[in-house]
Homo-oligomer: A and B are copies of this chain.
Amino acid sequence: MNLKAEHCSQIENALSAVAEKAKSGINHFYFVACGGSQAFMMPVQYMFDREITIPASIYTANEFNYGLPKDFGERSVVITCSHSGNTPETVSAAEKASKAGAVSIALSNKEDSPLWQAAKYPIHYDHGPDAAVADKSKSVLYALAFGILKIVAEEQSAKWESGIRALDALERATNCAAEKYKSAAEAWGKKNRRDTIIYTMGSGASYGEMYSFSACLLMEMQWLHSSCIHSGEYFHGPFEITDYDVSFVIALGNGATRYLDERALAFCKKFSDNVFVIDEAEFDMSGIDEEVREYYAPLIAGSVVRKMVDSLAYERGHPLSVRRYMWQMEY
C-alpha cells in the first residue's frame, strides 16, 4: 500500500480505536455524510452488509442528527466524510459520535477543519490533478474499510488482504477504464447535450456511484433534471417513463447484483434509443483479486462517469464549477 506515511498513521490510529472497541463488542457501523460524500461511502456500507454480521447503516447527516437511531451509542463506530470539512450537518454528526463515546472517524481533504476537530480520529486525503490515486479519497476510504474488516470479520479471509493489495492496482485500472471509454464518453456528451432529463441506474456496490452521478454531477453541476433509479426498483413503477427519447445511463455491476442491472438494461434498451452502458465486467482489473472486484468496480466506473460529464459540460458550455445557489448564499 503506497499511501503517504501521514495518511497511514491516521488510518492506523482509527484502526487501533476500532480494535479496542471490538474487544467489548461493536454494535453498529454508521456511515454519515451528505451528497457526494454520502454516495462515496455507499459501496462500503454495501460491502459491510455483505461481509460482516455487525449491522452497517448509512444516513444523510441530518436524518441521523434529528432522527437518531436507537442503536447508536458508545458501542458504535461512526464514519463521517466532508471534503471541505465544514459541512455543518456532518460536523454535528461527528460531534454527536465523539460525545457519545463512539469511535468517531472522519475523512476530509481539510486538516483542522470543523469536522477534523469534531471527530476523534480524523483522516486526511489528497485531492486534485497532482494527487496520487493512492492518497485520494477512495483509496484512503478503502484502506480504512478493509482494515476494519480485518479486525471485525467473524471469519478471517484472504479477501481483506486482497482488498488492501488492490489499492496498488487502482490507478492503472482507473486509467485503463477512462481510456477505454474516452471516445464513447465524448460521443455521449455530444448526443445528450440538448437533453433536459437524464436517468441513471445501478444496484449493489455501484448504486452510490450512480446516485452521485445523478445528484451531484447532473443536478448540481449541470442543472439538469435527473433521478437515480435502483435497477431492482425500475420494474416496480419507474419503468413506465421509458420512451425512445428518454436518456438512461446504466452501470452493469460485476458482482452479486449484476442480474438486476442486466434485466433493467434488457428492457430499457427495447424502448429507449438512448441507453449508455458502463459494463464493469469489461474493466481491465489486473492486479485486483477476483473476490474484491465487485467492491472496486464502482471506483473505476467513477472515472468513466467523470469523462462523460466532462464531455457533457463542454458540449453544453456549462462548466462543472458553476453554481447558482451553493457557495452563493446562506441556506
CB neighbours of A71 from chain B (8 A): 49, 52-55
CB <8 Å contact, A331 and B235: yes
Indicate if the CB atoms of A63 and B230 lie closer than 8 Å: yes
Taking A63-B204, A235-B331 as known contacts, 18 extra A-B pairs with beta carbons closer than 8 A to each other, sorted by chain A number, are A34-B235, A35-B236, A35-B237, A38-B236, A49-B57, A49-B69, A50-B70, A66-B260, A67-B204, A67-B255, A89-B232, A197-B225, A215-B237, A220-B236, A220-B238, A225-B225, A227-B228, A240-B325
Taking a contact as CB atoms under 8 Å apart, the answer to whether A237 and B257 are in contact is no
A55-B55, A63-B204, A240-B324 given; A215·B197 CB < 8 A: no
User: A241 and B216 in contact (CB under 8 A), knowing A57-B57, A204-B67?
Assistant: no
Say whether, besides A34-B232, A67-B46, A238 and B219 are in contact (CB < 8 Å): yes
Docked-complex contact A67 and B256, CB < 8 angstroms: yes
Binary contact track A303-331/B, C-beta < 8 Å → 1, others 0: 00000000000000000000111100001
A residues with a Cβ closer than 8 A to B are: 27-28, 34-36, 38, 46, 49-55, 57, 60-63, 66-71, 87, 89, 197, 203-204, 212, 214-216, 219-221, 223-228, 230, 232-233, 235-242, 255-257, 259-260, 263, 267, 271, 323-326, 331
B51 touches A233 (CB 8 A): no
Supposing A50-B67, A57-B55, A197-B197 touch, asked if A237 and B216 sit within 8 A by C-beta, the answer is yes
CB neighbours of A257 from chain B (8 A)? 62-63, 66-67
Report A146 CB to chain B, min CB distance, Å.
16
Residues of B within 8 A of A237 (CB): 35-36, 212, 215-216, 219-220
